[in-house]
Structure 1
Amino acid sequence: HPSNVQIEPGRAAFVKATLKPRKIIWFGAKEQRPYTLSVQRSGANPLPVEGTYLQRGFLPRWLATFFGVFLALGITFTMLWIAYKPNVSSGATERVAAAGSTLAPSAEPSRPLVSAPPEQPKEPTPAPAGGGESEKPSGGGDTGAPPPDTSGSSGGSGSSGTSGGSGGGGGSPAKPKPKPAEAAGQLIIGQGSNRCVDVTGGEDGVGRDGTRLQIRDCKRTPNQKWQFLGDGTVRSLGMCMDVAWGSKDDGAAIQLARCSGNPAQTFVLSTQGDLVNPQANKCVDAVDNGTGNGTKLQLWTCAGTPNQKWRVQD
């Protein structure tokens, strides 16, 4: 470029040409490349003119160095980030939830009183058969002599011995059956109903997991005897008073369940007569203010009503 140049005869001219390299050098040092320029006069053969040109890189060398260093730093940072394992530790401590209720008493629940077993009656000693003949008159041991013979004494002695023997054999009293020991524990009596907390269907003395509690006429049966233990549980028939499913909602059933240490099995009898579950901060309640036999027990917000008041009795 330009492709055509007009030069007068006998004259010389300089032509500025632009060369386009076939390959671009993006990075790197300068390079010298050869080129050939064909000059042709009108009506004459082309005249090749050879030369070299200097080709520089498209981007400066310092930029390539910068990109290389930046890439190396990025790779190093990524590897360190992946390999680094921070030591994570928690300074949190367990916080014991306070019951925080004015209804719960500060005093410990009273310990259950265990009644002593009744004294077994002594078995009477039966009289030996023929006791009439074996008895000796008082004072007879001093002489050792037999009693004086009187008329009819042999007949009288024989008859009296027979009657004495028969009387001794038939007069021995039958052995009385010992009364079973009364179950340990106390009665929990409702103020509004004057009836006892009772395990439904537990008259046979066998506790069944999930049995609903109710109020019933006090009969001092094992399923009406309760023990307030130091761990906060209230037990009967070898099981614990329990809020069904550990619920904190009003209307949750009060039942008998296997002792597990769950907070739903902790109850405190306050000095005001409220039987409180500290986890829910609610009271044991007779359903619908009921006072009749068979009224079930539930968990309910403490309101101070008679169906939520209880007392213990030995």
Structure 2
Amino acid sequence: MSLWTSLEPASATVDPGGSTRVRLRLRNTGDVVDEYRFEPVGDLSPWTVVEPQTLRLYPGTTGTVELTFSPPRTPDATAGPNPYAVRITPTEHPEAVTVPEGNLTITPFTEVRAELVPATVKGRFRGRPRLAVDNLGNTKVTASVSGSDTGDQLSYDLHPSNVQIEPGRAAFVKATLKPRKIIWFGPKERRPYTLAVQRSGATPVPVEGTYLQRGFLPRWLATFFGVLLALSVTFVMLWIAYKPAVRSGATEKVAEAGTTLAPSPSTAPALSPAPPPPQPSVPQQPTQPQETGGAKGGDSGGGGGAPQKKKPKGPVLKNVLLYNITTKKCADIPGYDKGESAGPVREYSCDGTSNDNQLWDFEMRYPKGGPGGVPLYQIRNVKDRFCMDLTGYGPAEERSPMMEYTCDGTTSDNQLFWLDKQDNGAYWIRNFASENMCLDVFGSGDGGDDTPLSIFRCSLTDDHLWLIKPQKPDGE
């Protein structure tokens, strides 16, 4: 070999993205003039520049060539010692190739880049973005991933939460975002969040994204429900405020009441004042002589007696039969004698004489107290002087049985009735306290002797129509 070489220095260090120079000295030890060509070889050859690329030396002379190494700041520049070599080919003797070798150490560097794919996710209950983490350095990277947002509105489920990435490679982290509150109605809400890539001893790499949370129900459905609710409230208010017109054939004039309530050709009884309401000191159930005396006083028109302390409440329609036009029976008290307090009121074959107990007095208590200003009556049995009554005080339920009890005559009880004349001349006898329900024969048009009377919702197809037939007193 006719060539001597030397690398100065034999080992060098360089930073990625930087450069360093190594001097190659050579001497022509031959006896002829020769020209040498230089060519870098090995993994570092792409980043190696030789200047000059050819050198002509005379025998016994020495020349110098500079090698410049410029590794890029990329993962390809592997950190650590990297061998290199230069092939020297003489022109005169091409077969006598010389390859001096050296060592170049590349310093390590780290660079991490992260990206959300996609940057904006949409959903009602969750969003599923992916985080791509790229290792752009020349050493292996170990990092952890965490999520955060303003107001702690989201929860984060990350798989995997720790990654190891080789140089020049990428890792993908699957993220599941869940809102802590569900939007039932309303517009979409933007919830910014951040996923951070944290390496030991380094500043975290934040990646910002947006979770667009949708409402559980679409906006048009919320509008529909709102309109429906408004219509429902309006309907209920109109229904509550609506008061149906109540048609009544009852009149306020006593004379007209006498003629109207008598559909039969028989003579209508005279109307006389009702007995005064009981004094507080009087027992609830007066004795028969007291009731009879009061009735007589009403018949005689007060002939010559001492003036009463209280004026009567209103006129009385005396000695009438309550005749049901469906069952052809009359309102009756069990047996033929006086009834008893809280005893039942039934229907039975009509008698119309004082031998039985089917005669009743309609005593007007409130001339304009009923619906539409119609009179309110209490219905008193002529024989035992008890009044038609319902259980308890105040409104009674459907099918509540009719009974008789000591007369009260006030609106605090449920003994007041009003008359609702129908087109056929018969009447609905309606209880004022019990939602104006009608006097009814228990059953549906199939009553008979001893069938109880009750109250029920008024109907023209049931047995609610009554004729009020005045009867002549015995002996007239």
- Normalising by structure 1, we get a TM-score of 0.43
Structure with greater strand percent? 2
Structure with greater helix percent? 1
